[in-house]
Amino acid sequence: MQTELSMPASIRGNTSAYMDWVQMLTGAALIVFMWCHMLLVASVNLGTGVFDALAAFLEYTYMAQIGGPMIGVVFLVHFALAIRKIPVTSVQQKGMWNQARMLRHKDTWLWVVQAVTAMIILVMAGVHLWAILTNLPITTAKSAQRIQEGGWFWFYLVLLPMAELHVGIGFYRIGVKWGFVGRRGRKRFQMLEYAITGAFLAIGLVTLFTFATVSL
| From 79, 152, 171, 172, residue interacting with ligand HEM (rule: CB under 6 A) | 152
Q: Using CB under 6 A, which residues numbered 171 to 190 contact ligand HEM?
A: none
| Residues in contact with 100: Cβ distance below 8 Å, sequence separation at least 6, in sequence order | 108, 109, 111, 112
Options 21-29, 109-117, 121-129, 186-194: segment touching ligand HEM (CB under 6 A) = 121-129
Residues 19-38, mask of contacts with ligand HEM (x by CB under 6 A): ------------------x-
User: DSSP 3-state assignment of 2?
Assistant: coil
Minimum CB–partner distance for residue 178 and ligand HEM (Å): 22
Whichever of 181 and 211 has its CB closer to ligand HEM, that residue is 211
| From 12, 20, 56, 68, residue interacting with ligand HEM (rule: CB under 6 A) | 68
φ, ψ dihedrals at 207, nearest 5°: -65, -45
Distance of CA 117 to CAs 9, 12, 30, Å? 32, 29, 15
Distance of CA 20 to CAs 91, 116, 163, Å? 24, 19, 21
Whichever of 114 and 146 has its CB closer to ligand HEM, that residue is 146
Give CA–CA dist 68/118, Å, rounded.
20
Q: Is 81 in the site for ligand HEM (CB under 6 A)?
A: no
| 189 alpha carbon, distance to own chain's centre | 19
The footprint of ligand HEM (CB under 6 A) covers 37, 41, 64, 68, 71, 75, 121, 125, 128-129, 132, 138, 143, 146, 152, 156, 159-160, 163, 204, 207-208
